[in-house]
Amino acid sequence: MSRNEDVRFVSSAIKIPRSSRAHPVPLLSTLPFARHNLSFHLDRARDAIQGFLAALPRRWSPRFLCSSSLAVVRQEAETNHRRHGKEDEERVLISEVLIRNKDGEALERADLEAAAADALKSCRPNSALTVREVQEDVHRIIESGYFFSCMPVAVDTRDGIRLVFEVEPNQEFQGLICEGANVLPVNFLEDAFRDGYAGKIINIRHLDQVIKSINGWYYKHGLSGLVGPALTCFCSCFAAIFLLVSYAEILSGGILRLQVTEAEVNNTIIQFLDRRTGEPTIGKTRPETIFQQLTTKKGQVYNRLQGKRDVETILTMGIMEDVTIIPQPTGDPCRVDLVMNLVERPNGGFSAGGGISSGITNGPLAGLIGSFAYLHRNVFGRNQKLNLSLERGQIDSIFRINYTDPWIEGDNKRTSRTIMIQNSRTSGALVHGNNQSDHGGLTIARVTAGIEFSRPFRPKWSGTLGLIFQHTGARDDKGNPIIRDIYNSPLTASGNAYDDMLIAKFESVYTDSSDHSSSTFAFNMEQGLPVLSEWLCFNRVSARARQGYKIGPARLLLSVSGGHVVGNFPPHEAFAIGGTNSVRGYEEGAVGSGRSYVVGSGEISFHMFGPLEGVLFADYGNDLGSGPTVHGDPAGARGKPGNGCGFGAGIRVDSPLGPLRLEYAFNDKLASRFHFGVGYRN
């Protein structure tokens, strides 16, 4: 939040000069309100009552005072005067009640006299009053907020005792000086004081409401800053207590001065705790790696909401088990130290698991994949990740090495860098079907190496740039290179056993929120760079969008994706349509494969019970007539229709692996099949 200079809002033509130590703004030290709260003035009113009693005429006898005089009541009577059956307080008959200034003259402003008169409840002409009733009315006049002094005076006249309330009103509001409010918006102060103050008598009650609204603004925005006398702020979110002493006072000429105390961050202290004992220990993470993630900086006004976001950011790094921020007071009441307690997770370890490849559907075990991986979460103590993984199935196999720096040191745009090396073998059934040779299925072998840079460039938008080299070709089940399928269609673009390509990649992603039904949009472009003459040159673009809507207890999710490729590219890189993540009711890639494609889907999901969710869906896909333009026309050779639709129903179950999907679908040829998947559709 940006800082602003000290506020000096003037509601009248009076110009408030900038204060300085050499020429301070003179204080009205004689004003009882200066640096005092309402209880101070009430105490003074009680003293005035004692003076009032002393001024009562001496000619009233004790016998008569029992019924019509004013006397001091004993402490026991003060405690029990409202109880039935107890002796009543002694009273005095008042013949007249007047409101006057301290000189005994009528007030210049009739509205102030009316305000004081309206505050009186017990003191009326021709009424018998007790000391308590007079004192309560004095309090009511003070509590009206317009007066800083009220003194009851008894005057003995021939008509009886005249009760005069001598009052001193507050000054007219002529301007405001607000000091220490570095983050409080100027227009907030202007609006608060202009509406109820401009040219009017300062009302302490209204001032109290304004002060509360200022404090409320700080609390709403999570800031540690208050204005008012001896206020204590309890920050329960971080189990800390701040004492911030500020004040309000009236300066000469009706200038109101507010002093705001804002707690600035003095220092941030990193402290590592042992995950077993909770005692301080030496951490493996470099402090600069932690400081790089924090948005709370030294010299800023401490914001508990910002601190909470910093805690969440540190936890998302994946290297901490627990993070807490504890504010600590310093010798300066305007500053605070932040102690960040960190409990580190184990840096690395091995893991094993399994899964299902959605691209393989034939055979009872053909789609099963086992995996083994080693992950180091905090290489060199810089939050850099090293991931070595091996996935192996009956057909598919992937060996991958990833080295990721989530935030490059010295970069202020949160740019990440990923270096990747991968050796994979995947089924070619998506484009070329199965049983492509006498020895079994056709597979696509790829050796890939590249580097990618990613960063957020706008709220909810992120972008990726990369440079990737790929060496790819087709093989039979024995691992021997092949260049043509059983239909004598080419399997490579170059005519050689392998295709080489250097790909420049750009991707931009918009995500409204982490909820699956929220709006998302992704655009991807790949450009083949023919650095060498045998390297492929092509351009491939694709996009996908998703939008969710709530319809009563159900949710409607609409999604669309499409793409196009121009230039010389391998046939197995054509867009495949059909399958679990495309058009359900068809096998993987059974609708078609082409240079262009579009797929649309609509789903209505509804909660059933527990973690179980039901879904109704309909899909449609089309290759836009581009199937024959792919090298060898693999889709036409296999009789793929090029377009198709499917519809059906299914259930989803939340699990630690993500949503487990079991769906049953019909296609437009009324053929049906089950689909099983892990995670949401892309």
Q: CATH second-level architecture of 264-344?
A: Roll (3.10)
Q: Evaluate whether 379 touches 373 at the Cβ level (below 8 Å).
A: no
Across the range 344-354, mean pLDDT stands at 89
Q: 413 is written with which tokens?
A: 């745009």
Could you tell me which residues are beta bridge partners of residue 305? none
With 0-12 / 13-18 / 19 or more C-beta atoms within 10 angstroms meaning exposed / middle / buried, residue 48 is buried
If phi > 0 it is left, if psi is from -120 to 50 it is alpha, else beta; for residue 308 that is: alpha
Q: Beta strand pairing status for 264-273 and 335-344? A: parallel
Q: Evaluate whether 484 touches 442 at the Cβ level (below 8 Å).
A: no
Q: Beta strand pairing status for 248-251 and 255-262? A: antiparallel
What is 38-169's CATH number?
3.10.20.310
Give per-residue pLDDT as tens, 262-315: 889 999 999 999 999 999 999 999 999 999 999 999 999 999 999 999 999 999
Which pLDDT belongs to residue 389? 96
Which pLDDT belongs to residue 297? 92
- CA dist 222 and 132 (Å) reads 45
Q: Which residue has the higher pLDDT, 260 or 586?
A: 586
pLDDT at 4 over 60: no
Helix 110-119 crosses helix 131-143 at what angle (to 10 degrees)?
Answer: 130
- CA dist 491 and 300 (Å) reads 62
Which pLDDT belongs to residue 207? 86
Q: Evaluate whether 181 touches 248 at the Cβ level (below 8 Å).
A: no
- CA dist 152 and 166 (Å) reads 6
Give the closest residue to 548 by CA, choosing from 484, 604, 469, 466. Answer: 604
pLDDT at 575 over 90: yes
Least confident of 73-77, 379-383, 418-422, 526-530: 73-77
Q: Evaluate whether 400 touches 387 at the Cβ level (below 8 Å).
A: yes
- The CA–CA distances, whole Å, from 31 to 106, 170, 171, 452 equal 21, 9, 10, 70
With the CA atoms of 312, 318, 321 and 323 taken in that order, what torsion angle do they form, in degrees rounded to the nearest 10?
-30
Q: 399 is written with which tokens?
A: 């060996």
- CA dist 94 and 15 (Å) reads 48
Across the range 87-114, mean pLDDT stands at 88
Q: Evaluate whether 504 touches 470 at the Cβ level (below 8 Å).
A: no
Across the range 399-420, mean pLDDT stands at 95
Burial 193-208 (b: 16+ CB within 10 A, else e): beeebeeebbbbebbe
Least confident of 349-358, 420-429, 460-469, 490-499: 349-358
- CA dist 445 and 424 (Å) reads 6
pLDDT at 605 over 60: yes
Across the range 21-38, mean pLDDT stands at 35
Give per-residue pLDDT as tens, 632-664: 999 999 999 999 999 999 999 988 778 899 999
Residue ranges covered by each domain of the chain: 38-169, 264-344, 348-678
pLDDT at 396 over 50: yes
Work out the pLDDT band at 6, boundaries 50, 70, 90: very low
Strand residue runs (E) in 181-305: 225-227, 231-235, 240-244, 248-251, 255-262, 264-273, 280-281
CA angle 190, 195, 198 (to 5 degrees): 85
- CA dist 122 and 78 (Å) reads 17
Q: 222 is written with which tokens?
A: 């999570």
Q: Evaluate whether 414 touches 407 at the Cβ level (below 8 Å).
A: yes
Q: Evaluate whether 236 touches 222 at the Cβ level (below 8 Å).
A: no
Burial 609-644 (b: 16+ CB within 10 A, else e): eeeebebebbbbbbbbebbeebbbbbbbbbebbbbb
- CA dist 575 and 568 (Å) reads 14
Burial 135-172 (b: 16+ CB within 10 A, else e): bebbbbbbebbbbbbbbbbbeeeeebbbbbbbbebbbe
With the CA atoms of 357, 358, 359 and 365 taken in that order, what torsion angle do they form, in degrees rounded to the nearest 10?
50
- CA dist 498 and 446 (Å) reads 9
Give per-residue pLDDT as tens, 456-503: 998 899 999 999 999 999 998 888 999 998 888 899 999 999 999 999
Query: Residue 256 carries which DSSP code?
Result: E
pLDDT at 69 over 50: no
Which pLDDT belongs to residue 56? 55
Q: Mean pLDDT: which of 181-190, 231-240, 442-451 is highest?
A: 442-451
How is 492-521 classified by DSSP, letter by letter?
SSSSSS-EEEEEEEEEEEEES-SSTTS-EE
Across the range 198-208, mean pLDDT stands at 82
Place of tokens 């003070």: 142
- The CA–CA distances, whole Å, from 549 to 481, 505, 602 equal 49, 32, 11
Residue 81: how many other CB atoms lie within 10 Å: 14
Work out the pLDDT band at 356, boundaries 50, 70, 90: low
Contacts of 407 (CB under 8 A, 6+ apart): 292, 293, 383, 414, 415, 416
Percent of residues, the chain, with pLDDT higher than 70: 80
- The CA–CA distances, whole Å, from 209 to 18, 115, 213, 214, 313 equal 27, 19, 6, 9, 37
CA angle 284, 286, 288 (to 5 degrees): 165
Do the two domains 38-169 and 264-344 of this chain adopt the same fold? yes
Contacts of 141 (CB under 8 A, 6+ apart): 116, 119, 120, 147, 150, 165, 167
Contacts of 164 (CB under 8 A, 6+ apart): 97, 98, 99, 100, 104, 152, 153, 154, 155
Work out the pLDDT band at 427, boundaries 50, 70, 90: confident
Which pLDDT belongs to residue 19? 32
CA angle 223, 228, 234 (to 5 degrees): 45
Which pLDDT belongs to residue 353? 81
Work out the pLDDT band at 16, boundaries 50, 70, 90: very low
Q: 180 is written with which tokens?
A: 């220490």
Give per-residue pLDDT as tens, 126-185: 999 998 999 999 999 999 999 989 999 999 888 889 999 999 999 888 888 888 888 888
pLDDT at 49 over 70: no
Least confident of 35-39, 398-402, 508-512: 35-39
Give per-residue pLDDT as tens, 207-260: 888 888 888 888 888 887 656 543 333 333 333 334 343 567 888 888 888 888
pLDDT at 626 over 80: yes
Query: Residue 60 carries which DSSP code?
Result: S
Which pLDDT belongs to residue 227? 62
Written out in words, the top-level CATH class of the domain with range 348-678 is: mainly beta
pLDDT at 438 over 60: no
Across the range 593-619, mean pLDDT stands at 95
- The CA–CA distances, whole Å, from 450 to 148, 399, 502 equal 77, 15, 9
Across the range 99-124, mean pLDDT stands at 93
* SS3 track for 321-352: EEEEEEEEECCCCCEEEEEEEEEECCCEEEEE
- CA dist 559 and 2 (Å) reads 40
pLDDT at 437 over 80: no
Which pLDDT belongs to residue 631? 92
**What average pLDDT is seen over the chain?**
82
The identity of residue 262, as a single letter, is E
With the CA atoms of 94, 100, 102 and 107 taken in that order, what torsion angle do they form, in degrees rounded to the nearest 10?
170
